[in-house]
Amino acid sequence: MAEEDKKFSKQLIGKTVVSKTGKRFGEVGDIIFETRSGELINIVLGNPTTYTEKLELEKNKEGEILIPFSAVIAMGDFIVIAEEDII
């Protein structure tokens, strides 16, 4: 991966999470990762939209919605996810 393609987690916190069809899911509230390998596991959604709350998505013990990082297809001004990978 090129050095300029790398992103620090603090650069992702607060970014809006949208589907590739443009549906807004919320914001990146936190990121869960494997400490040994550094593998990104889930995005914890902050400020989920009413659309997102109606979906039956995985939640953590605190009731926060989790988006599998494997569903992320692009990161830039927004975090773009493939909705079909999480439903």
Query: What are the Cα distances from residue 16, in Å, to 27, 35, 59, 74?
Result: 4, 25, 19, 12
Rounded mean pLDDT, 6-16: 84
How sure is the predictor about 1, in pLDDT bands with cuts at 50, 70 and 90? very low
- Alpha carbon 64 to its chain centroid, in Å, reads 12
**For residue 24, is pLDDT > 80?**
yes
- The whole-angstrom separation of Cα 24 and Cα 86 is 14
Calculate the average pLDDT of the chain: 90
The domain segmentation of the chain, as residue ranges, is: 30-87
Give the residue carrying structure tokens 């919320």.
26
Q: What is the tens place of the pLDDT at every residue in 39-63?
A: 999 999 999 999 999 999 999 999 9
